[in-house]
Amino acid sequence: MSFIPVNTPLLDGNEKKYLNRCLDTGWISSEGSYVRQFEERFAARVGRQYGIAVSNGTVALEAAVAALGIGRGDEVILPTFTIISCAAAVVRAGATPVLVDCDPVTWNMEANQIEAKITPKTRAIMVVHIYGLPVDMSPVLELAAKYNLAIIEDAAEMQGQTYNEQPCGSFGEISTFSFYPNKHITTGEGGMIVTDDQKLADKCRSLRNLCFQAGYQRFIHEELGWNFRMTNLQAALGVAQLEKLDEHIIRKRRIGQYYTEQLKKISGLQLPQTKTDYAENIYWVYGIVLTEEVFYDAVVAMQKLAERQIGTRPFFWPMHEQPVFLKMGLFKEESYPIAERIARRGFYIPSGLALTDRQLEQVSQAIQEIML
């Protein structure tokens, strides 16, 4: 059996056609027309007025934090169970990340832990939607309004997802997305910032372009920015992929439903929640958590699957256990038991859009074998 990777993107639309237009015209840099098209169409899709295309989802977060003016002495509340980009964006701005644990079923941040972490230094809540289900936004929005806090919505894994029929990426002051190849739409590498605030949009555009000043002599700068620009080649991919987003969501849900049907009777596995009162899972990845009755952890399970030619990835490692932050003196003696448990006992299996029916069968069979 050939190795089944954890992700393979699906590129069966107008990708080649649009890329060839870039090559034929010579517009391959960030100045090409596809960048603006992608920004406008993506923003419209998630119900925002402004889209700012950037080079990846990590820098989208950094620019969003900077645009809000968050800096030294400020605090931002976010989940400990997330990718390091979220906390890193706060730390690099000179602010302090303040953590909450995750829900044991949805794996999203526990909204009921947020209020206890709010202090006079709190500037924002960074909401991170995890693996396929959105955070329960209503209580978070209520807290933000009560304490006059900004919402930074990290919707990197949520292209096409909704919360109570409102698009993920449309909540709060500013939202960010990633277009890495394992996302529902991809530009290879790439990201997007979306907002309804023109000043924030203008600030993000400036920050991504070295803070060049419109109407002034070029190469004279009043502020420091970054080169976070997306190329026209990447944006061309994005436009083509966006045309297929609805099909991709249907396909992802079918993959998730197939796995659940095949694996639900296997003892020792916690499978992803299929739906909540406010959303149906779109399975960015199909995650599995080994229950306590299983005597080995996720590392061993992934090794067993690798022996059967099945690719896997571990769950996120909690921010409060990251060596780089502990060396900085952050999160001393903090413990978040749910995140700690699922980080050690959770992993995800091949979930890419290009999976064949035969590969889905092989993955399911391999999991059944290792759980005997």
Q: In what order do the strands lie in the sheet with 96-100?
A: 50-54, 191-195, 174-178, 150-154, 122-128, 75-79, 96-100
Which residue among 242, 276, 299 closes a domain?
242
Where would I find the beta strands (DSSP E) of 104-243?
A: 122-128, 150-154, 162-163, 166-167, 174-178, 191-195
Tell whether 156 and 274 lie within a shared domain.
no
Residue-number span of the structural domain to which 180 is assigned: 15-242
Distance between CA 195 and CA 372 in Å, rounded?
Answer: 49
Q: What is the pLDDT of residues 88-143, one digit of tens each?
A: 999 999 999 999 999 999 999 999 999 999 999 999 999 999 999 999 999 999 99
User: Could you tell me if 46 and 146 lie in one domain?
Assistant: yes
* CATH code of residue 20: 3.40.640.10
350-369 pLDDT, tens digit each: 999 999 999 999 999 999 99
pLDDT digits (tens, 9 = 90+) for 260-311: 999 999 999 999 999 999 999 999 999 999 999 999 999 999 999 999 999 9
Residue 116 lies in a domain: yes
Task: Count structural domains, the chain.
Answer: 2
Say if 6 falls within a structural domain: no
Q: What is the pLDDT of residue 213?
A: 85
Same domain, 86 and 109: yes
Nearest to 120 by CA among 79, 151, 74: 74
Residues 135-181: tens digit of each pLDDT:
999 999 999 999 999 999 999 999 999 999 999 999 999 999 999 99
The answer to whether residues 175 and 189 belong to one domain is yes
On whether the CB atoms of residues 35 and 47 are closer than 8 A, the answer is no
Give the tokens for residue 210: 């070295």
- Looking at the fold, whether 103 and 237 belong to one and the same domain comes out as yes
Looking at the fold, whether 212 and 266 belong to one and the same domain comes out as no
Q: Which of 209, 242, 275 is the last residue of a domain?
A: 242
Q: pLDDT digit string (tens) for 230-247?
A: 999 999 999 999 999 999
Of 199, 219, 242, the domain-final residue: 242
Residue 10 lies in a domain: no
Q: Read off the amino acid at residue 328.
A: M
